[in-house]
Copies of this chain bind each other. A is one copy, B any other.
């Protein structure tokens, strides 16, 4: 037997019992497994004892063992003849407030078998955490929320398995990363104290729970690793992201930004980690503009402006006719408008420059991005001054959070070895555009690294080897959560960041405003 990285599946050959060695079946098996596992402490799931004698003898004492790591010890969750080729699967879950993503893995090789995602059905109760917690306080409210997420997960697991000719009972290990409230709702734990001073979760380290106890329909002996949290506002999803980014192993400081419903930011290295979260997010996802939406087919994700003709060059996802614009598209648009001199450094539309692209609707200025004849909706796709103002506030908030975080530990943006941008936002954003509007610091572009779904990535790693479970515990214990104190200093920074790219152009030396036209505050 070889020691691989994934210790979950071990094939062992036991010395058959004899009159000189009459150790019991269970103890004999534990003895054989001990030399392969660290620490050599192994529990056998009680139900397995019922089939153990027959499996051992039918397989002539040559068996395949499925294990998982609980806090202090290993637990045996499955046994079969070594020749048995039934799949042994694991399931990584990113438990988002809005969307839940699943990844099915071969637990032995770590190979990804399939992925899927579904909208969190708790959205029907309330779109945000606050509304759901209030609902949970009603009679049976918590139970309803719990059933919503568990049933949807069970349905999705069944479909995902069916697509791979495997069955839910072939799943022996799960790992779940979610924010603190979602984790509580998933576990059926009362979340009411999370939103009330002093903001106390029921549990920081849920550890490993039996799938059966959670109502998750997989193998009845399967174990679920649930990511820990640092507190009510620094959840398992962020810890999974840190794990996935590996910033906790870097010698030089790195930054990780995950923009979802909230913007969550972590700064740190192998010695320290500091995290904070702020409401920078909503303006960057669907909802920022009347045509705003999340990334998807037909959605504008990149916009260029011809500096001479001021014509838009539109790219849509899957090259379909444009039907809206997502967060990264809005950032691209604002950057191009600014570089082309179509908006000033306050983000105000300049009718003199925009010309016929400007239309006044209900007394407010609007810029036509895609005229009706070219759009998928049959109407003009426009962006309003109010949309731009909202974006400016968002980008200012994001920059101020980053600046506050680096400032709190005396690190300058230049010191950052890497700047990881997670999630859909990270996948679609063009760092040069985010820099142009002063949303992200002016670093060499190659330091910006998209991470994808870092929460799902971290959850996947937790199914790769138990070494990551120790890393997760270390990350949790090392994080300092920085409570954003909105004081005068913060407000001053925020005000300075509300200009494009910033009141201090020395912070953004690479941003060259388009050729001839330069605009000073107040000049349009």
B-contacting residues of A (Cβ < 8 Å)?
Answer: 17-19, 21-27, 41, 43, 46-47, 49-50, 52-54, 71-73, 187-190, 192-193, 197-205, 207, 209-210, 213, 229, 231-232
Contacts and interface: CB of A to CB of B under 8 A. Distances in A.
A101 to B, nearest CB: 25
Please tell me how many copies of the chain the complex holds: 2
B50 A205 contact: no
28 contacts: A19-B197, A21-B198, A22-B198, A22-B199, A22-B200, A23-B204, A24-B200, A24-B201, A24-B204, A24-B231, A25-B200, A25-B201, A25-B202, A25-B203, A26-B202, A26-B203, A26-B204, A26-B205, A41-B72, A46-B209, A46-B213, A49-B203, A50-B189, A52-B202, A53-B190, A53-B192, A53-B202, A71-B73
A64 to B, nearest CB: 19
Closest 7 CB pairs of A and B: A24-B204, A26-B203, A24-B201, A27-B204, A19-B198, A17-B200, A53-B190
Contacts of A53: 189-190, 192-193, 200, 202
Given A17-B198, A25-B193, A25-B202, 20 more contacts: A17-B200, A18-B198, A19-B197, A19-B199, A21-B198, A22-B200, A23-B200, A24-B229, A24-B231, A25-B200, A26-B204, A27-B203, A49-B202, A49-B203, A50-B189, A50-B190, A53-B190, A53-B192, A71-B73, A72-B72
A290 to B, nearest CB: 40
A25 B25 CA distance: 41
Contacts of A192: 53
A228 to B, nearest CB: 9
Contacts of A73: 71-72
A48 B12 CA distance: 37
A240 to B, nearest CB: 18
Contacts of A23: 200, 204
B22 A190 contact: no
A19 B196 CA distance: 11
A192 B204 CA distance: 46
A246 to B, nearest CB: 26
Contacts of A17: 198, 200
A519 to B, nearest CB: 45
- Residue of A73, A199, A202 contacting most chain B CB atoms (<10 Å): A202
A16 to B, nearest CB: 9
Contacts of A71: 41, 43, 73
Contacts of A204: 23-24, 26-27
Nearest to A41: B72
Nearest to A187: B49
Contacts of A21: 198
A409 B58 CA distance: 41
Nearest to A193: B53
A222 to B, nearest CB: 14
Nearest to A190: B53
Contacts of A187: 49
B54 A190 contact: yes
A345 to B, nearest CB: 39
Nearest to A207: B43
A59 B207 CA distance: 26
Nearest to A27: B204
Contacts of A52: 202
Contacts of A197: 19
A296 B27 CA distance: 42
Contacts of A72: 41, 72-73
- Residue of A41, A46, A207 contacting most chain B CB atoms (<10 Å): A46
Contacts of A205: 26-27
A95 to B, nearest CB: 17
A231 B17 CA distance: 12
Contacts of A209: 46
- Residue of A22, A190, A232 contacting most chain B CB atoms (<10 Å): A22
Contact of A232 (B18, B22, B189, B190): B22
